[in-house]
């Protein structure tokens, strides 16, 4: 039975990648190991491989709980799936485990009915409850349980404080089951691997020893390896890679695996068409716009509806999901035209579900929806968005359940603001709108600028990087200089610098402001792991 289960595990669980032309490329062929780091006792960082996540120290007979943290798009779900696959193909580093399961938390959250652990595991894989029950009941079995995407562990803390179950046959909501697994009240002999966006609050939920790792993304070496796999043709690969290597903005953006994929797709089209290769790829939004535009060109030739109608329907779906914290949609909600190529099919417990290619596309389509609405509605939606995000910022030092809900809502919606800013930039979108025959004028620019200005005075902390990134997307030069000056006087050593911000900072220094004597000292540990420049901002002067 275990053999049958092993055979059923494959990369298809994660989305295949399709080129605009319709060709498909499997993630297995593109898989490139990212940089993973671990802090050692002396406080410096070690690079570790995926296999080394499971290395046992001589002193420790048992595996500690493994926590793998990384920013959005850094490749946590891909690693989780890779480990499941390595187990299924009997790689020696996982030979201690008789069984491995992977629970994707975003899928778990969609389950409305109560169930027991066995049913939950069966829901996440191809086995029936009775098959799992027979395997898991065998108590000598050592189980590796991967919980992927536990992005808001605080959410669970409140549930855990109230409920927990102690039997694998006891029915409860899936969240309660996950809590009980984290607390090792059920399957106490299992080894847990948790992936999360958040720096895990130490000891909040977990029992026993824990080991923390962080996925940093791709270094330049891995970007090159990825490009090689992606382009297949040696000549094309050399041409494109050499071009990207010389462009600091693009090569830095490629350190985020999801961006690396998007940039490869965009450049593949541009190089094949012999078009001007870099123009208009300066901001995060412009790269997404280019990508979506390419897909539209290839897939929407014979559409029965206009591109505007299609984008509005996709945007509406994206927005509803964002507000309800939902990333999976059922077949009833998704019309056929919306599906390919913008949504991915995912078979979950016999049911066909859909999701955006990556969360960042759901954020992008939400922002696009806001700017495609008529003026009044657009302003109203953006006002509400800014209010919700700011409310979360203002509550960040509160820790009750209600505040926590607001904070997680705010975190989820924050990237939408960034995309709305980017979509206000005329040069970025006007050619996109023209190309697809859409007459749209974006009119929320002033509203955004006012908000950013107020926030830059109110929030003297890590939100400054986000504000700066928004200004950069808006291309607001004079303003950017002021915010940068404020940043200079701040201590950012404890701010977790996201790759995306790092990229934008570099670009700001280069292009947007006259940096003069400004000196920004960002001592972010993981900067040293990747290339020394441009990440070490001190070295710019």
Ligand X SMILES: Nc1ncnc2c1ncn2[C@@H]1O[C@H](COP(=O)(O)OP(=O)(O)OP(=O)(O)O)[C@@H](O)[C@H]1O
What is residue 10's three-state secondary structure? coil
Radius of gyration of the chain (CA): 23
Q: Is 361 in the site for ligand X (CB under 6 A)?
A: no
DSSP string, 427-454: HHHHHHHHHTT-------HHHHHHHHHH
Q: Write down the least CB distance from residue 253 to ligand X, Å.
A: 13
How many positions of this chain bind ligand X (CB under 6 A)? 19
Using CB under 6 A, pick the residue from 153, 174, 257, 315 that binds ligand X.
257
Using DSSP bridges, classify how beta strands 65-70 and 210-217 pair: parallel, antiparallel or unpaired: parallel
Smaller CB distance to ligand X: residue 103 or 186? Answer: 103
- Please tell me whether residue 153 binds ligand X under the rule CB under 6 A: no
The answer to the question of residue 73 lying near ligand X (CB under 6 A) is yes
Cα 10 to Cα 357, 516, 531: the distances in Å are 18, 53, 33
Does position 75 interact with ligand X (CB under 6 A)? The reply is yes
Residue nearest to ligand X (CB): 75
HSE toward the beta carbon, residue 349, CA cutoff 13 A: 16
* Sequential DSSP letters for 120-179: HHHHHSSS-HHHHHHHHHSTT--EEEEEE----HHHHHHHHHH-----TT--B-HHHHHH
Alpha carbon distance 534, 325 (integer Å): 35
CB 101, min distance to ligand X, A: 17
Nearest CB to ligand X, comparing residues 80 and 470: 80
Among 116, 122, 149, 363, binds ligand X (CB under 6 A): 149
Nearest-angstrom CA–CA distance, 34 and 77: 12
Of residues 28-67, which lie at the interface with ligand X (CB under 6 A)?
30-32, 34
Between 34 and 321, name the residue whose CB sits nearer to ligand X: 34
What CA–CA distance (Å, rounded) separates 422 from 412?
18
Q: Does position 76 bind ligand X by CB under 6 A?
A: yes
The nearer residue to ligand X, 70 or 534, going by C-beta atoms, is: 70
Cβ proximity to ligand X, 64 vs 72, nearer residue: 72
- Binding residue for ligand X, selected from 261, 364, 433, 472, defined by CB under 6 A: 261
DSSP string spanning 380-423?
HHHHHHHHHHHHHHHTTT--SHHHHHHHHHHHHHHHHHHHHHHH
Could you say whether residue 132 binds ligand X (CB under 6 A)? no
CB burial of 294-309 (b: ≥16 within 10 Å; e: otherwise) equals bbbeebbeeeeeebee
Q: Does 197 bind ligand X (CB under 6 A)?
A: yes
Q: Is the peptide bond between 44 and the residue preceding it cis, with omega within 30 degrees of 0?
A: no
Q: Is 321 in the site for ligand X (CB under 6 A)?
A: no
Report in angstroms how near the CB of residue 131 gets to ligand X at its nearest.
28
Closer to ligand X at the Cβ: 285 or 362?
362
The owner of tokens 């922002």 is 367
Q: Which stretch binds ligand X (CB under 6 A): 24-32, 276-284, 493-501, 507-515?
A: 24-32
Q: Is 258 in the site for ligand X (CB under 6 A)?
A: yes
Q: Does 346 bind ligand X (CB under 6 A)?
A: no
Q: Which spans of this chain sit near ligand X (rule: CB under 6 A)?
A: 30-32, 34, 70, 72-78, 149, 197, 257-258, 261, 358-359
């Amino acid at each position: 039975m275990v053999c049958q289960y092993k055979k059923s595990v494959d990369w298809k669980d994660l989305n295949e990648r399709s080129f605009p032309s319709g060709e498909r490329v499997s993630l297995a062929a593109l898989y490139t190991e990212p940089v993973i780091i671990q802090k050692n006792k002396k406080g410096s960082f070690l690079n570790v491989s995926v296999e080394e996540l499971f290395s046992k120290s001589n002193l420790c007979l048992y595996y500690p709980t493994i926590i793998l943290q990384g920013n959005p798009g850094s490749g946590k779900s891909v690693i989780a799936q890779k480990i499941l696959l390595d187990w299924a193909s009997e790689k020696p580093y996982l030979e201690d485990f008789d069984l491995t399961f992977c629970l994707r938390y975003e899928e778990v959250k969609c389950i409305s009915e109560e169930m027991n652990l066995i049913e939950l595991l069966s829901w996440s894989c191809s086995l029936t409850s009775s098959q799992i029950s027979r395997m898991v009941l065998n108590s000598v079995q050592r189980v590796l349980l991967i919980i992927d995407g536990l992005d808001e562990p605080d959410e669970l803390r409140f549930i855990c404080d109230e409920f927990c179950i102690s039997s694998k046959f006891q029915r409860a909501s899936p969240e309660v089951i996950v809590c009980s697994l984290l607390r090792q009240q059920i399957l106490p002999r299992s080894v847990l691997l948790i992936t999360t966006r958040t720096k895990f609050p130490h000891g909040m939920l977990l029992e026993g020893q824990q080991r923390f790792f962080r996925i940093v993304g791709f270094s330049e070496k891995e970007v090159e390896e990825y490009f090689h796999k992606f382009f297949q043709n040696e000549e094309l690969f050399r041409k494109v890679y050499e071009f990207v290597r010389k462009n600091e903005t693009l090569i830095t953006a490629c350190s985020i695996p999801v961006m690396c994929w998007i940039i490869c797709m965009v450049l593949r089209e541009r190089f094949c068409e012999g078009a001007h290769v870099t123009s208009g790829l300066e901001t995060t939004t412009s790269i997404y716009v280019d990508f979506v535009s390419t897909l539209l060109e290839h897939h929407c030739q014979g559409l029965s509806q206009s591109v505007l109608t299609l984008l509005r329907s996709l945007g509406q779906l994206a927005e509803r999901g964002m507000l309800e914290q939902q990333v999976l949609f059922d077949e009833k909600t998704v019309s056929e035209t919306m599906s390919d190529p913008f949504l991915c099919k995912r078979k979950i417990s016999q049911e066909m579900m859909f999701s955006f290619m990556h969360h960042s596309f759901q954020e992008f389509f939400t922002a696009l929806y806001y700017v495609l609405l008529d003026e009044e509605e657009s302003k109203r939606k953006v006002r509400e968005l800014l209010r919700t995000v700011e409310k979360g910022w203002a509550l960040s030092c509160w820790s009750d359940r209600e505040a926590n809900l607001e904070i997680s809502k705010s975190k989820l919606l924050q990237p939408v603001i960034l995309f709305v800013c980017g979509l206000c930039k005329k040069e970025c979108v006007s050619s996109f709108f023209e190309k697809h025959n859409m007459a749209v004028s974006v009119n929320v620019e002033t509203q955004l600028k006012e908000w950013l200005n107020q926030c830059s005075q109110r929030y003297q902390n890590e939100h400054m990087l986000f504000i700066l990134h928004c200004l950069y997307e808006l291309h607001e030069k004079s303003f950017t200089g002021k915010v940068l000056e404020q940043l200079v006087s701040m201590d950012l050593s404890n701010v977790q610098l996201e790759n995306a911000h790092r990229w934008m900072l570099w670009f700001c220094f280069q292009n947007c402001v006259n940096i003069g004597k400004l000196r920004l000292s960002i001592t972010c540990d993981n900067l040293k792991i990747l290339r020394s420049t441009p990440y070490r901002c001190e070295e710019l002067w």
